[in-house]
Amino acid sequence: MEAWIARILVLSILVLLCFAVIRTGIWIWGYFTDTKETFQGAKVLELQEREPETKLVILDAGHGGRDQGTSGGEAIEKDINLEVVKKLAELLEDDNIMVGFTREDDTKIGLEERASFANESEADLFVSLHCNYCEEDAGVQGLECYYREDSEEGKAFAEKIVEAIGSEAGITNRGTRTANFRVLTKTQMPAVLIEMGYLSNAEERKKMAEKDYQKILAEKIAEGVRAMLEDSALEE
Ligand SMILES: [Zn+2]
């Protein structure tokens, strides 16, 4: 009887060991394939020469790849962020403002990389787009514009964005806020992170998945970017 129990024990330990080895293997494989998701943004800037007077804005679509950000129903944050970034880029380029992307597709990119890309390309402004989620209260909705606490320029930029959003475009405006998000603390130019709306709110989630609403968001953000560029041009 005891030998029988011992055999089962040995067998169980062997099975567990096998699992551990397989799990470690998967982890190691994941680790190395992860680093192969390389930074895609820089190639955009290499394609074109930048005239000294041309303003450059880095657009940062939050999350990407296996990091999908937050989600609600069918709406996935990483996709909405990228959609609005693309619309925003079009609008800015129409105004002869040069744009650079931290990602142009569904790629995973580190936060430090996003910031150092903006710093290395000596961008004039940095705009990061995200979607929010509130677990405690599904009634919460609206856009929030964040800047780094100790940045006067960041504050001015965030105020321009919020001013452009206004109250008449159908976007709930929750104003400016401070936060030490990594892309804000590591970037050297005026930078904002816009939480465009709450995917935890059914009504707002529905709107944010709509192309027309995404276009309004992009138009209003573009207006804020233009206002900030005009302002900083006056200071020079
Ligand atoms: Zn996010």
Counting residues of the chain whose pLDDT is more than 90, the rounded percentage is: 73
Cα 125 to Cα 154: distance, rounded to the nearest angstrom:
9
The pLDDT of residue 36: 45
- Secondary structure of residue 212 in the 3-state scheme: helix
| Alpha carbon of 179 to ligand 1 centroid (Å) | 13
Q: Are residues 146 and 172 in the same domain?
A: yes
Q: Are residues 24 and 51 in the same domain?
A: no
| Alpha carbon of 70 to ligand 1 centroid (Å) | 6
> What range does the domain containing 8 cover?
1-36
| Alpha carbon of 98 to ligand 1 centroid (Å) | 24
Cα 162 to Cα 183: distance, rounded to the nearest angstrom:
19
| Alpha carbon of 2 to ligand 1 centroid (Å) | 57
pTM assigned to the model: 0.81
| Alpha carbon of 168 to ligand 1 centroid (Å) | 25
CATH number assigned to the domain comprising residue 66: 3.40.630.40
At 208, the pLDDT band (50, 70, 90 cuts) reads very high
| Alpha carbon of 233 to ligand 1 centroid (Å) | 31
Q: Are residues 119 and 8 in the same domain?
A: no
56: left (phi > 0), else alpha (psi -120 to 50), else beta? beta
| Alpha carbon of 62 to ligand 1 centroid (Å) | 5
Cα 95 to Cα 20: distance, rounded to the nearest angstrom:
56
Q: Are residues 56 and 102 in the same domain?
A: yes
What does the pLDDT look like over 108-162, one tens digit per residue? 999 999 999 999 999 999 999 999 999 999 999 999 999 999 999 999 999 999 9
Q: Which two tokens stand for residue 152?
A: 């006067």
| Residue 183 scores a pLDDT above 80 | yes
Q: Are residues 130 and 210 in the same domain?
A: yes
Counting residues of the chain whose pLDDT is more than 70, the rounded percentage is: 90
